[in-house]
């Protein structure tokens, strides 16, 4: 197995406040591996929650950088352990950036579209909106209608691409178990 294929990349996507970060962290702990956090949270913490169109490209570039960094770190750790493969759980990718751009600004930067076409992933975990909303100054859509609309946009994206995906719903424990079942089915 070559080094490029030894990392299995599993991405959690979906609307805000659907447990993506929690799920990635839990899965990384369960499998004793790494997870890649969402860069937008770090960026908005540093620069304030008010953003504009120009900020989104910086967030997208930061997400790409942190994902590449995590993948390289995991490759290095796996090589020292002589592991045949490793799992990397990624909270958010360019699909999330595409949805964000198009939902807020009705257009998307070409870099995001190019990265969607270029980057390969092994499994998507689509997080449903059935968890209770958790208020956070970085979150924009506490109302049910935009959350449903956004969930359906993510679902349409996944239906129309070739990487396997599953829906993650239920309470936090049920979500974790569904994700573990999917990882076991696809990779172990």
The mean pLDDT of 1-9, rounded to a whole number, is 67
Percentage of residues of the chain with pLDDT beyond 70: 95
The mean pLDDT of 156-166, rounded to a whole number, is 97
Checking if the pLDDT of 180 tops 60, the result is yes
Measured CA to CA, the distance from residue 132 to residue 114 in angstroms comes to 34
Confidence band, pLDDT 50/70/90 cuts, at residue 82: low
CATH code of 79's domain: 3.40.50.300
- Split into its structural domains, the chain has a count of 1
Checking if the pLDDT of 85 tops 60, the result is yes
What pTM value is reported for the model? Answer: 0.92
The mean pLDDT of 126-133, rounded to a whole number, is 92
Q: Which whole-number Å values give the CA distances from 57 to 40, 42, 128, 130, in the listed order?
A: 11, 14, 26, 30
Convert the pLDDT of each residue in 61-78 to its tens digit.
Answer: 999 999 999 999 999 988
pLDDT computed for residue 2 by the predictor: 45
Percentage of residues of the chain with pLDDT beyond 90: 82
Convert the pLDDT of each residue in 143-159 to its tens digit.
Answer: 889 999 999 999 999 99
Checking if the pLDDT of 3 tops 90, the result is no
Measured CA to CA, the distance from residue 103 to residue 186 in angstroms comes to 32
Convert the pLDDT of each residue in 92-124 to its tens digit.
Answer: 999 999 999 999 999 999 999 999 999 999 999
Whether 12 and 168 have beta carbons less than 8 Å apart is answered as: yes
Residue range(s) defining the domain that contains residue 26 = 3-187
């Amino acid at each position: 197995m070559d080094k490029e294929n030894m990392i299995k990349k599993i991405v959690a996507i979906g609307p805000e406040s659907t447990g993506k970060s929690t799920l990635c962290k839990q899965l990384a702990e369960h499998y004793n591996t790494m997870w890649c956090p969402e860069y937008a949270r770090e960026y908005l913490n540093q620069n304030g929650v008010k953003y504009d169109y120009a900020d989104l490209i910086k967030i997208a570039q930061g997400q790409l950088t942190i994902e590449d960094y995590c993948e390289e770190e995991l490759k290095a750790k796996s090589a020292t352990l002589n592991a045949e493969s490793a799992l990397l759980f990624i909270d958010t990718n360019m699909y999330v950036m595409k949805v964000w751009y198009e939902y807020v600004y009705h257009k998307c930067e070409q870099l995001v579209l190019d990265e969607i076409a270029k980057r390969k992933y092994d499994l998507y975990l689509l997080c449903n909106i059935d968890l209770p909303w958790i208020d956070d100054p970085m979150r924009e859509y506490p109302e049910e209608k935009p959350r449903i609309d956004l969930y359906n946009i993510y679902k349409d994206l996944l239906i129309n691409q070739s990487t396997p995906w599953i829906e993650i719903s239920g309470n936090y424990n049920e979500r974790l178990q569904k994700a573990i079942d999917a990882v076991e089915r696809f990779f172990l």
